Structure formats: C-alpha cells, structure tokens
Structure 1
C-alpha cells in the first residue's frame, strides 16, 4: 500500500506529529502510534496535576504543624513558667493602674474610675465576659492601648505575654462590643436649647434655635491599590467623616467611611437621605451651625460668604458691621466641634496615623473612638484630656459652596422654586 503524506515536527515536547491531508490515507500503524502518543501526553498531564496537588497538601500540612508546634511551645510550659507569666501580667496591670499619678490615663487614655465603669457596663450588658484565660479588664486594656497609642500587635504581645492571635482576636471582640454601646452613649441632639447657648449672652437669643454643630474631618486610610484613587483628596488618602456634636463636646451623630475626595455637602446629603434612626435628624425650626463647605438651607446655617470668619482673622480687630459680628459669633460657637475633633484625635492616636487594619475595621475604629469619647465625657466629666485646651488648626483653605442653586432640601418634598424660597427665608433669618 502506498502511503502519501508528510511528517511535520510540531509542539508537544518536540514529538513528531503526522498530519493527514484531505483525501490521503494513513497506515493503521501510524494511527495507532499517534494515538499512543496522545495517551502519553494525557498521562503526563495527570501526573503533573497529581504532583501539584500533593505539593499543595504537603505545604498546607507543614504550615499547620508549624503553627501547632508554635502554639504548643507557648501553651505547653511548666507550672512555674505559667505562674511567672500570670505574675508578670498582674504586675504590669498594677503598674498601669497604680504606678504613678496619671499612669492609667497615659496608658489606656482614661482614669481608673472610668475604666472600671466601662468594665461594669460591658459585663452588665453582656457585651464582654471573662474567658478561661483572659478577663474583661485585660481585654479592654489591650484594646485601649492599641487605639490610644496605635500600639503594634507585637508590642502588646510582649507587654501582656499573649500570642499575636490572642491579641488580634480580643481586639476585634472588644471593637464589636464597643460599637454595641453606640445607642446608649451617642444619641441625636434633642430639641431643647443647650445650656452652653442659653447661659451665654454672646449666643442667646441669637442662636436660641441651634441644637448642634456639624463639620467634617479626615482620618488617614489604608486601602487596596485599586481603591486608592477614589479616596485620594487634597489631604492624601483618607476617609471623610461627618459628625454632629453639641456645644458641650458630645457627639450626637457620626457618619464614617466616605472617600476623602468626597465633598462635605455630598456626605451631608447621604446622612440626610438615610432612614431613621440611621440618618441625621433635623427638627422643624431648629438648625445646626456649619462652615462654608455647606450651605444655608432649612436645618443648617452657614456663615456669610466673602466676610472675615475664622477666629484668628478677628484677633485684635473689632467687627465693622453686622455680617462680621455674625460671623465672629458663628465661628466662636462652631469652633466647639473643631475642639471636639482635637480632643478625639489627641486621646486616640490611632486616628492620627495610618492603620494596618482592613478598611471596614478602620471605619469601625472611628465609630468606637467617638463612643468612647462620649462615654468618658459622661462618666468622668473631670477628665484631664477632655478639659484641656486643644490647639485648633483651622483649615482656612477649605472648599466653599458658593453656588447653591442646585441644592436639595431632604427634610421635605418641594418644587425647585419652593425650595429656593425656603432657603432664602433661612438666609434672611
């Protein structure tokens, strides 16, 4: 039998391949040989997959065994070593609470009275409980040291003689419990006139309907590379936080997690559009004071544009007209929220540095710190940090909302014309 065709050298590890042209016949032996080579390729591929799977299993088992061996070295110690660790922890805790006059406030950023009150509240509400090896006091002390000083996990491991996994686990547990206190220690502003306004002739009766102050602040954020551009603003990669507070420096509303590049008014829109109790509450006839990054509309009064506003601009100068006088008193009252931000960041240094936690955890940390701020203010009003004079670095370069023709009022449903008329009424007021 005559065989016509060509033997071509192709892929597959240098093996030859016989390719049949249309209408040509192939010897049966060649067909069988080609089929055998295909079977060899399939078997080789199966062997490669099997080897890869075995390698992955071996690697996983090795890692597990190493982790178990490490834990075994930590946990399987002699009785004397266990006693020594317990003694060292107790000695460390005594130094924190009783070392010197303000050692407790320096280490966990609150005085002993407030700390033990926090322990009591956590236990009473079932948010935290003693475990076999770690009591609530130690859980809170580790958490407060981390948020108060942005202490690294390895430092806490050394100070409390705990594994890194234990420190991380209880940090997340306390963080979740802290946000469980939010409804108890952060309530939206009431309708009543705050005492700080009612008892001050510079503010009353001019701001008698003011129930609070709103402003935004930025906290450094660490995000995946594909999200960095969204969060990069003129202050770097940050999250934009909207907060409302009363003149006595208590937070009444906090919305965290917005991109640092977002405009303050856009964040306020989000707060107003959320259903209660998750949105910012605005009462009829009452209002918040806000800076030039917002606009005057029902529920919010901003300063006059193109008029001296910041307190340092009024230093040594007497107001020349009613607009300058209004801006001076507006700035004086609204500066309370700037002071509140200063106290918050001064107490919890984790808000002033880049965090290594996932972004949802970074948002929860901000909320937890504001709850702790309110807790300390209510339970220990004489706290030194809460009452210290914080230097306020006012951002005079902040963007202003000059064009408010397209602003929308979320408190009621109106036409554009009605909404514009209402805003003009508030401007006149």
Structure 2
C-alpha cells in the first residue's frame, strides 16, 4: 500500500508541475500576442469601403490628373503644360524656394502651377478648369493670382531689358520688337 500512496502522490505532484508549466507557457505566449493584437487594432486605419464621398472622389480625380500630367509620358506633359517634366518640376521648386509659394491645405504647388500653365499656355478659360479640376472659380482665381505674383517677382532673373545705347536694325519687321 505505501507504494500506491507514493505513486499517487508522485502522479499528483507531476500533474501539478505540468499544470504550472502550462500556466507559465500560456502567460508567456498569450500575453504578448494579445498585447500585439491590441496595438495593431489601435494603430489600424479605418477600412476603405468603396463608397466615396463626393470630396474623396474629387480629390482622387485631381491626384490622377496631376500624376498623369507630370509623372506620365514626356510628350503628354509637354503637350498639356508646354514644359518638359524636368522643367515643370524645376519651376515648381524655384517658386517654392525663391518666391515662397507653398502648398495650401487642399491644393499642392504642382496643381497651382499646372492650372496656371493651362490658362497661360492654351488660353484655357478658368470655367473649363473648374470642370476639370473640380474646384470653384474663386479657388482657381486665387491660386492663379498667387502663381502669377510669384512668377512676376522673379522678373529680374527672366526678363532682360533692352540696352538704350544699342541702335535697332533698319529692318521693317524690327519695329514690333
């Protein structure tokens, strides 16, 4: 009988040891997993369901138009903006750094300059830009004026005034210059 009691106590102790081991492993495994899941859930952005509001749709359309215009083919950029992609990016950088033109809350400098170049380069009416860019006439006019002011502020770098000492040629066509 003492052997049986010893055997039962041994089995009981072994079961208790296994149970403690399971508890410790469970704590070591599940706590970090649950903490990690809680962190991921708290950091996750809301899911994007395919029901755009009107503003989100307009914003997506504008981003697509601009990306297609100045990140697309060189020919397409030149046809629309009358500048190569490199010149367009250089102009935007110059207007940012030298003239202080900044992104507004909803309109990037690239979009402002693109709208300006479409009006100046193609004689496009601002009402047509309103339909294309889904912006109000007031917004387009404000940003057009801001870009125009920025470009005019650099007139010393781009416009060379004629020298009064130089005699113009006798060519009859020269009078227009």
Q: 1:170 aligns with which of 143, 163, 167?
A: 143
Alignment of 1:134 onto 2:16: no
Does structure 1 conserve the Cα–Cα contact (< 8 Å) formed by 2:71 and 2:85?
no
Pairing of 1:6-405 with structure 2 (within 5 A): 80-186=53-159, 252-253=160-161, 280-283=162-165, 287=166, 300-303=167-170
Q: 1:301 to 1:170 in 2, by over 3 A?
A: closer
**Consecutive aligned runs of 4 or more in structure 1 exceeding 6 Å deviation:** none
Superposed displacement of residue 98, structure 1: 4.1
**Equivalents in 1 of 2:169, 2:120: separation in Å?**
34
**TM-score calculated relative to the size of structure 2:** 0.63
Q: 1:281 to 1:136 in 2, by over 3 A?
A: same
Q: 1:150 to 1:94 in 2, by over 3 A?
A: same
SS at match of 1:110: coil
Q: 1:101 to 1:135 in 2, by over 3 A?
A: closer
Superposed displacement of residue 282, structure 1: 3.0
Name structure 2 gaps, 5 residues minimum.
1-50
Query: Over residues 45-91 of structure 1, what are the superposed CA-to-partner deviations in whole Å (9 max), with x where a residue is unaligned?
Result: xxxxxxxxxxxxxxxxxxxxxxxxxxxxxxxxx96322221110111
Query: Over residues 302-339 of structure 1, what are the superposed CA-to-partner deviations in whole Å (9 max), with x where a residue is unaligned?
Result: 42xxxxx67xxxxxxxxxxxxxxxxxxxx8xx6xx98x
Compare the two structures and name the one with the higher strand fraction: 1
Aligned residue pairs, count: 127
**Map of 1:389 onto structure 2:** none
Q: Please report the RMSD computed on the Cα atoms of aligned residues, expressed in angstroms.
A: 2.5
Query: Over residues 79-115 of structure 1, what are the superposed CA-to-partner deviations in whole Å (9 max), with x where a residue is unaligned?
Result: 6322221110111112212444411111111111001
Query: Over residues 347-368 of structure 1, what are the superposed CA-to-partner deviations in whole Å (9 max), with x where a residue is unaligned?
Result: xxxxxxxxxxxxxxxxxxxxxx
**Equivalents in 2 of 1:169, 1:302: separation in Å?**
43
Q: 1:118 to 1:301 in 2, by over 3 A?
A: closer
**Equivalents in 1 of 2:128, 2:72: separation in Å?**
19
Q: 1:106 to 1:282 in 2, by over 3 A?
A: same
